[in-house]
Amino acid sequence: MTRGRAYGKANPRLTDLENYPTEAFAGAGRRLLAFVIDCVAVIPTMLIIAWILGALPGQEEGIFGLDPRYTKLASKIAQFLLYDFYFVGMLHVWGRTWGVMLARYSIVRRDLGKPTKGMARGRYWAMVLSIVPLGLGLLWIFGHKQRRGWHDLMAGTYAVKRTHLIGDLAIVADTPEGESAQHRKEKHNSELGIIVLNLLLFAPGMILVGVGVYTANKLGLMKPGPEEIPASLQALEG
């Protein structure tokens, strides 16, 4: 921690993503991959809930014989809460969803720290606004220096490749100076609990994601990235 804070103070340009080159940010292809993986992760759970409540197209009642007039509304509410828990909760405590992790980038603040809960939720809803005008807000990624869409600009977030995210600096950004080791441990355990609960809630989809990851590994499609700091970031040192 001390080493990371000292490194950041010695290299202030590395602690501000506005200084980073375009290559440091995730492009449209990487983001599309994350979106597809996230859909595979969450949709099975959503379908199971809809089936239990009798909210699937053509269903007249759920498995408990509940009135479909109310279960369809309950299904929508449950889906909204689960989407919020998945996309907002994971970005806030981890800076990644499972799709973002496998696509090898992170969603962070300008100072490399994880998004606040407000930023994560704002980004989620801003995504809708980015899609409404024929996807113009998403296409903005192609022309922006940091490859940010409207949802990133509105929420104050950046999508940074894992190869260009210096771990020590990211940890320091999330750790207030003077924070006790006990408080860090409690925060870590709380965040870990949310990640595990997320994994359990979306277990059906995560099994499918796991099969896909296993297959991709067998085919040699998931190679580890380089350990050293990229040359483009080394140029920002000092």
The model's pLDDT over 135-166, given as tens digits with 9 standing for 90+, comes to 999 999 999 999 999 999 999 999 999 999 98
Q: What is the pLDDT of residues 73-125, one digit of tens each?
A: 888 899 999 999 999 999 999 999 999 999 999 999 999 999 999 999 999 99
How confident is the prediction for the chain on average, in pLDDT?
Answer: 89
Number of Cβ within 10 Å of residue 146's Cβ equals 19
Burial class (CB in 10 A: 0-12, 13-18, 19+), 176: exposed
* Residue 3's pLDDT band (cuts 50, 70, 90): low
Tokens encoding 89 = 């909760």
* Residues 24, 165: Cα–Cα separation, whole Å: 8
Q: Where are the domains of the chain?
A: 2-222
- What sign does the CA torsion over 24, 179, 98, 38 have? negative
